[in-house]
Chain A
Amino acid sequence: MSDFLKIQGLQARIDADGTPKDILKGLDLEVPKGEIHAIMGPNGSGKSTLSYVLAGRDDYEVTGGSATFKGQDLLALDPEERAALGLFLAFQSPVELPGVNNANFLRTAVNAVRRARGEAELDAVAFLKAVRAETKHLSMSDDMLKRAVNVGFSGGEKKRNEVLQMRLLQPSFAILDETDSGLDIDALRIVAEGVNSLRSPDFSALVITHHQRLLDYIVPDRVHVMAHGRIIHSGGPDIAKTLEKQGYTQFLEAAA
């Protein structure tokens, strides 16, 4: 099943005030079905860029390589088509939507995805039931459903709201971009549990993090080290511990 998510030689750049800036420089990565992988790497190495490119943000220009998901050319799809296909990105910085009621947003999204997947839409009652079960799971107050999407949410609330969306949209592949940053230990446990309980042979995830701590709770099948727009090293969960103790230097030197 190695054809689940497959990235080969991916190159991407952004237009930084008129001058193109290469960020991804030939990135290879495979995440098989049913596995959870982690990516660790210094700030600025291109982790968020990778997640945006996979989710379909079009201010990044893909200049080389390929990415396939479930055998389809991921890069040819619109963001909403990728979502329908089962891809989900929990944003490192969730976006605020002033005036847009969170529950309404969630329901619109859930039903858009269900429609695209050929599933029946949820009516208001069924949706409420589903959402209430999840908010309870994530220790979120109902109040957060009534507020505008991410507006005035604390850092931790925003991250939980991302996990809530992930659970409602039932992706088969989720990218979590530093979902742990800014969370206290209790929130971290809740978020980790939100991911772990989705573990199944049909669910894969790519967990981007700076901290070994998260990987104590979400134990990955593999860990990849990213630097300068490439995966420079891959291995078992133990790598994370080495990184925590010794930093990225040895991997960077080895890759140089």
Chain B
Amino acid sequence: MPAVTETRETVEKLAKSSYEWGFETDIEMDIAPKGLNEETVRLISERKGEPQWMLDWRLKAFRAWLEMEEPTWAHIHHPPIDYQDAHYFAQPKKKPGPKSLDEVDPELLRTYAKLGIPLHEQALLAGVEGAEERLPVAVDAVFDSVSVATTFRKTLAEAGVIFCPISDAIREHPELVQKYLGTVVPVADNFFGALNSAVFTDGSFVYIPEGVRCPMELSTYFRINARNTGQFERTLIIAEDRATVSYLEGCTAPQRDENQLHAAVVELIAMEDASIKYSTVQNWYPGDDEGRGGIYNFVTKRGICRGARSKISWTQVETGSAITWKYPSCVLAGEGSVGEFYSVAVTNNHQQADTGTKMIHLAPNTRSTIIAKTISAGKSDSTYRGLVRMQPKARNARNFTQCDSLLIGDQCGAHTVPYIESRNMTARVEHEATTSKISEDQLFYCRSRGLSEEDAVGLIVNGFCREVLKELPMEFAVEAQKLLQISLEGSVG
């Protein structure tokens, strides 16, 4: 067999390794009828016990959404989505908090076990009392639309950190939510953002007070669980002056045969000298080899560096979804503020990804860095879109962009579309792009040293992604490693 074919087959095997985490959990659900209208919005708000202002906010978003059209310009194709053919609210029937794992729904535990979540962590996720002392990562589990459990509240509360489901925050910290919600992604920002604003059912709220360095990484496991339930997460993270936080988001999903819409909104706000690091390892069901049944992932993620010298850093490793449409962005409004975007996107089979970032430089001396690594295999298609905008006041602003594509096989595609808009003469934008293939020389060199072809590909892919992977917190690096089937470096130094 010619070497090229062999390589491709190995990689296909590697990237395909059929979706291990495709399973569904059968837990008693409280489900709203299918369809989307003002009544749906009112029902969600009512079930969540929300105050009037929140309902008004949702209705405003819903009315804006009705006027908007689904964007068609992204480099992706899918059958039209029937927004009336989905449930917009589903929650597991509430039970009183369990005292030990024995009292937790065994189905839920089995789900966690299949996800490879360690036992003590399962206890945490399931909200078993007293389990929190054992783990250095705080986990706010989103099991379907409702957080089944929120943990670590005690430790975090001592530091003055608020980390809770956003629906709790709406009730318990209305002044904060009202002050910041929708300030980064306004209700009418875009089609999917508006839809999310109208019907979001859960997500996380994080507030780090002035001068506080959050004592632990904050982590959320997202799961999509109920059949035909669109998932609309809303996350809001605020870091006050000199506050620091690192937030981890991870996704897996059960296998199913109907495409599922996911439209999340994440808003980050960094005040003076504050720093927010947001890391995602995303592994949603990409569909079968023909692309059937995968998740549609339309996400609006945006952060604003409001204060001087503040910093927002997005890191993401994406291996899932049938369709991904996602542009984590930074608005650099504070003088000398810093935006970063580090991304690895792997597409295989019929996956389509249209991702990238936007760096909007509003203030002087702002800096942004974009490192985007794209790996395409099979018949997949991947587009990187990067917008760098230097506004008139962005004196001496700097951007550095590097986009590297690695193609595996000859049926996949990678496109790089940089948009640069500079309205300040002193601002500087640098863009570098490369496209490469794993060479036969590299594979043979590795194999002659005893590595299997699979390990060789893993090593080379890992090397290709190194600049991004090293940005991930350790807890996540392990997950990323699993997902990319690569061995992490760093055994020395």
Contact = CB atoms under 8 A, between A and B. Distances in A.
Given A99-B466, A99-B467, A112 B450 contact: yes
A23 to B, nearest CB: 17
**Majority secondary structure, B binding face:** helix
B492 A145 contact: yes
Given A101-B489, A148-B463, A113 B442 contact: no
Contacts of A97: 442, 445-446, 459-460, 463
Contacts of B490: 101, 104
Size band of the interface chain A makes with B: 35 or more
Contacts of B447: 56, 78-80, 83
Interface in B1-44: 2-3
**Majority secondary structure, A binding face:** helix
A109 B490 CA distance: 15
A103 B459 CA distance: 12
A130 interface: no
Interface in B406-464: 439-442, 444-453, 455, 459-460, 462-464
Contact of A94 (B445, B451, B463, B489): B445
Contact of B462 (A57, A94, A100, A112): A100
A108 interface: yes
Interface string B50-63: 00000000000000
A82 B449 CA distance: 9
A89 interface: yes
Interface string A73-103: 0000011101110001101001111111101
Nearest to B466: A99
Nearest to A78: B447
B244 to A, nearest CB: 28
A103 B448 contact: no
B463 A169 contact: no
Size band of the interface chain B makes with A: 20 to 34
Contacts of B248: none
Interface string A106-128: 01111011001000000010011
A179 interface: no
B372 interface: no
Contacts of B492: 101, 103-104, 128, 145-146
B464 to A, nearest CB: 6
Nearest to A127: B491
B118 interface: no
B481 interface: no
Contacts of A79: 444, 447-448
Most buried by B among A79, A112, A124, A165: A79
Contact of B450 (A84, A91, A128): A84
Most buried by B among A82, A109, A113, A165: A109
Most buried by B among A83, A95, A113, A169: A95
A83 B449 contact: yes
A253 interface: no
Given A97-B463, A99-B466, 5 more contacts: A80-B453, A88-B448, A103-B493, A108-B455, A116-B450
Interface of A: 55-59, 78-80, 82-84, 88-89, 91, 94-101, 103-105, 107-110, 112-113, 116, 124, 127-128, 142, 145-146, 148, 165, 169
Closest 8 CB pairs of A and B: A99-B463, A100-B463, A103-B492, A113-B450, A104-B489, A101-B489, A95-B445, A109-B449
29 contacts: A57-B444, A57-B448, A58-B3, A79-B448, A80-B447, A83-B448, A83-B449, A84-B450, A88-B448, A95-B439, A95-B441, A95-B444, A97-B445, A97-B446, A98-B463, A99-B462, A99-B464, A100-B460, A100-B463, A101-B490, A103-B493, A104-B491, A107-B491, A108-B459, A108-B487, A109-B451, A142-B493, A145-B493, A148-B463
